[in-house]
């Protein structure tokens, strides 16, 4: 897309990169809306179906920009060396296509992961669920990685050699087949009814807790009467005790004859309170994972780097946009090795089931991501020095005598970082949050990517403005040889290093995960108390 924007829409690298940052942010924020609609009104199946249709329309409109000449600027005038920027209507049409694709992603992304896990996680008491879900999350990413590999190799090759008309037409065909096959397989799916909106529930807990803020909550509240769902005997946990005020029964008139709350804006249940607590608890670790997403989102610059380097493998020239293939290939290969060889082999060797904790996997991913940024900075420094030695400082169109394969290690490390951290995060959210919040859990990582894209855009703009000289160029210059992309990478590497300490602190503060140990202190959600009988 960065090459398409630069060549066909005459947009500079900094502006084009920021457009893609914002588009990616919108695409990753949309799942929050999709999760809300799924959990509150539509259900996961219908939300995925509508998302597929919106994605199809978006890719179709994007394809039209290649087919209809009036939808993008004319070719540059070779005599005067002038290029006309896109008109307002041309730019608006392109952005509208992006918006439809983002809306489609908002329906598909948060629900497909949760919908797939729902097919496996049918029985909460099944002891094999933990391993089955871990395997599912890995293979879900491996399947997605296979699709992306096709995109970065086959589709990019078509775009590079057959042009944008055919290259953008292929995704339209794929999206059409995807939508049709999803609806055709409708009868095979396990579907659940739409429950009460978890987002509305969160607001109710906050409102009621604020109303009851004057209630004194002591270190022990065993004599309190709590409201809970029908046929439940749960009492609230000791964490975030101020929220427990939302489920304390002050007046028996607040209950219906069957023991449930008559007005959820006056009295909430223990389960509602615990759901909000579980979300608040995971947010610090969620925020620690943003840095890896910021690093991964720097996809435009390596493409520009590759376009200035020797990309030949024998007689075959690798398209500059195909190098992310190594990221996805590494991710897919690691998932297969981890699930089918490493875990079974270590379990057999140790004589017991071997499992790497999700927080440990997330931490390993952050370390690898930091190393990837360091290598990116070093490689770009070497590439730039060679360009200057060869007298190419003012001519980035000429190829530096340096193999683009030097970029492969950083791509592979980013893939390995995602294999550890991204998969670990999704499993962590799904396992730690209640089952009623599975769509929300699936959207948390995507929202993190959206926030990371906005932060990346802000960092890029800040670096560009702070480093801009009197000549109007800074580190992020359209002429990559005159810019200092290596220093920009070093900034990200230092930020990643500092983020490691933040993650360790958040992980320590969170404590053990649900599946790692049984909490020993105080009553837990689902434990019975004589006072909780009032909930019946």
Report the pLDDT value the prediction gives residue 131, as an integer from 0 to 100. Answer: 64
CB contact at 8 A, 534 and 249: yes
pLDDT tens digits for 204-225? 889 988 888 887 765 555 546 7
pLDDT single digits (tens) 235-261: 888 888 888 888 888 777 777 777 777
Task: Tell me what pLDDT residue 266 has.
Answer: 84
Average pLDDT (74-97) is: 84
Tell me what percent of the residues of the chain surpass a pLDDT of 70.
Answer: 88
Q: What is the pLDDT of residue 495?
A: 93
The three-class DSSP label of residue 450 is helix
pLDDT of residue 498: 94
Task: Average the pLDDT over 418-425 and give the result.
Answer: 85
Q: Where would I find the beta strands (DSSP E) of 408-461?
A: none
The yes-or-no verdict on residue 525 having pLDDT over 70 is no
At residue 515, the pLDDT reads 58
Q: What is the pLDDT of residue 134?
A: 66
What is the rounded CA–CA span in Å between residue 330 and residue 416?
Answer: 6
CA geometry: angle 88, 92, 93, nearest 5 deg: 120
Instruction: Pick the more confident residue, 335 or 516.
Output: 335
pLDDT value of position 522: 42
pLDDT at 409: 92
Distance of CA 258 to the CA centre of its chain: 42
Report CA-CA distances (Å) from 360 to 189, 235, 274, 289, 364. 33, 31, 25, 13, 6
Q: Is the pLDDT of residue 526 over 50?
A: no
Residue 532 clears pLDDT 50, i.e. is over it:
no
- Angle at which helix 270-288 crosses helix 485-510, to 10 degrees, equals 150
pLDDT digits (tens, 9 = 90+) for 265-324: 888 888 888 888 888 888 999 999 899 888 887 777 888 888 888 888 877 888 787 788
pLDDT at 147: 83
- Name the band, by pLDDT with cuts 50, 70 and 90, for residue 528: very low
Q: Is the pLDDT at 535 greater than 60, yes or no?
A: no
- pLDDT given at position 126: 52
In 3D, which of 111, 106, 107, 108 has the Cα closest to residue 27? 106
If you average pLDDT over residues 337-359, what whole number do you get?
80
pLDDT above 80: residue 377: yes
Contact 492, 374 (CB under 8 A): no
Q: Please state, in angstroms and as integers, the Cα–Cα distance from residue 212 to each residue in 217, 238, 268, following that order.
A: 10, 17, 11
Query: CA 36 to CA 107: how far, in whole Å?
Result: 10
Least confident of 84-98, 118-132, 140-154, 327-341: 118-132
**111-138: average pLDDT:** 67
More confident residue, 117 or 523: 117
Question: For 133-151, how does the pLDDT look when each residue is reduced to its tens digit (9 = 90+)?
Answer: 667 777 787 787 778 778 8
| pLDDT-based confidence at residue 518 (cuts at 50, 70, 90) | very low
Among 202, 327, 204, 348, which Cα is nearest to 267's?
Answer: 204
Q: Give the Cα separation of 411 and 406 in Å (integer).
A: 10
User: What pLDDT is recorded for position 439?
Assistant: 67
Q: Does 93 score more than 90 pLDDT?
A: yes
Structure tokens at 478: 């359209």
Determine the pLDDT at residue 130. 61
Q: What is the pLDDT of residue 166?
A: 92
Return d(Cα 417, Cα 359) in angstroms, integer: 13
> Which of 179-188, 366-375, 428-437, 459-468 comes out lowest in average pLDDT?
428-437
Using a pLDDT cut of 90, give the percent of the chain over it. Answer: 18
Query: Would you say residue 69 has pLDDT above 80?
Result: yes
439/348: higher pLDDT: 348
pLDDT in tens, 388-414: 888 777 766 778 888 888 888 998 999
Q: How confident is the model at residue 520 (pLDDT cuts 50, 70, 90)?
A: very low
pLDDT at 148: 78
pLDDT in tens, 6-61: 888 888 777 888 888 788 878 877 887 887 788 777 888 889 999 999 999 999 99
Cβ within 8 Å of residue 250, ≥6 positions away: 212, 215
Given this model, what pLDDT does residue 312 score? 84
Task: Average the pLDDT over each of 107-111, 275-279, 522-526 and give the range with the smallest value.
Answer: 522-526
Please give the Cα distance from 422 to 245 (Å, whole number).
Answer: 35
């Amino acid at each position: 897309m960065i090459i398409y924007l630069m060549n066909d829409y005459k947009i500079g690298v900094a502006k084009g990169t920021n457009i893609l940052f914002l588009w990616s942010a919108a695409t990753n924020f949309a799942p929050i809306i999709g999760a809300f609609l799924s959990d509150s009104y539509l259900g996961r199946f219908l939300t995925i179906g509508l998302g597929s249709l919106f994605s199809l329309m978006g890719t179709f409109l994007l394809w039209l920009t290649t087919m209809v000449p009036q939808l993008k600027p004319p070719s540059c005038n070779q005599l005067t060396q002038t290029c006309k920027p896109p008109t307002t209507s041309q730019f608006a049409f392109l952005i509208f296509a992006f918006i439809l694709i983002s809306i489609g992603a908002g329906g598909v992304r948060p629900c497909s992961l949760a919908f797939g896990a729902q097919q496996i996680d049918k029985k909460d008491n099944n002891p094999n669920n933990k391993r089955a879900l871990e395997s599912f999350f890995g293979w879900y990413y491996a399947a997605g990685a296979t699709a992306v590999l096709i995109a970065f190799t086959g589709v990019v090759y078509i775009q590079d050699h057959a042009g944008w008309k055919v290259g953008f037409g292929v995704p339209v065909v794929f999206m059409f087949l995807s939508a049709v096959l999803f609806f055709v397989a409708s009868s095979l799916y396990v579907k659940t009814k739409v429950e009460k909106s978890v987002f509305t529930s969160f607001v109710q807990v906050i409102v009621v807790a604020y109303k009851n803020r004057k209630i004194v909550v002591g270190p022990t509240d065993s004599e309190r009467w709590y409201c809970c769902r029908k046929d439940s005997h749960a009492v609230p946990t000791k964490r975030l005790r101020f929220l427990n005020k939302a489920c304390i029964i002050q007046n028996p008139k607040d209950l219906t004859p069957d023991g449930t709350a008559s007005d959820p804006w006056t009295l909430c249940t223990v389960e509602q309170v615990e759901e909000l607590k579980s979300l608040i608890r995971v947010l610090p670790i969620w925020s620690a994972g943003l840095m890896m997403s910021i690093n991964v989102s720097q996809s435009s610059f390596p493409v520009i780097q590759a376009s200035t380097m020797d990309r030949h493998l024998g007689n075959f020239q690798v398209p500059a946009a195909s190098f992310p293939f190594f990221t996805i290939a590494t991710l897919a290969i690691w998932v297969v090795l981890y699930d089918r060889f490493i875990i079974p082999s270590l379990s057999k060797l140790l004589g017991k089931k071997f499992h790497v904790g999700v927080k440990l996997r997330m931490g390993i991913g952050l370390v690898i991501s930091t190393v990837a940024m360091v290598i990116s900075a070093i490689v770009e420094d070497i590439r730039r020095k060679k360009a200057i030695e060869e007298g190419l400082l003012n001519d980035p169109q000429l190829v530096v005598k340096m193999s683009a394969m030097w970029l492969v290690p950083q791509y592979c490390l980013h893939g390995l970082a995602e294999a550890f951290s991204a998969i670990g995060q999704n499993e962590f959210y799904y396992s730690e949050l209640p089952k009623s919040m599975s769509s929300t859990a699936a959207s948390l990582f995507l929202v993190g990517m959206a926030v990371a894209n906005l932060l990346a855009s802000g960092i890029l703009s800040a670096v560009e403005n702070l480093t801009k000289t009197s000549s109007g160029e800074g580190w992020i210059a359209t002429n990559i040889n005159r810019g200092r992309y290596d220093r920009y990478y070093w900034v990200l590497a230092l930020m990643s290093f500092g983020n490691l300490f933040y993650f360790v602190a958040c992980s320590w503060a969170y404590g053990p995960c649900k599946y790692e140990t049984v909490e020993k202190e105080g009553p837990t959600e689902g434990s019975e108390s004589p006072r909780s009988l009032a909930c019946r």
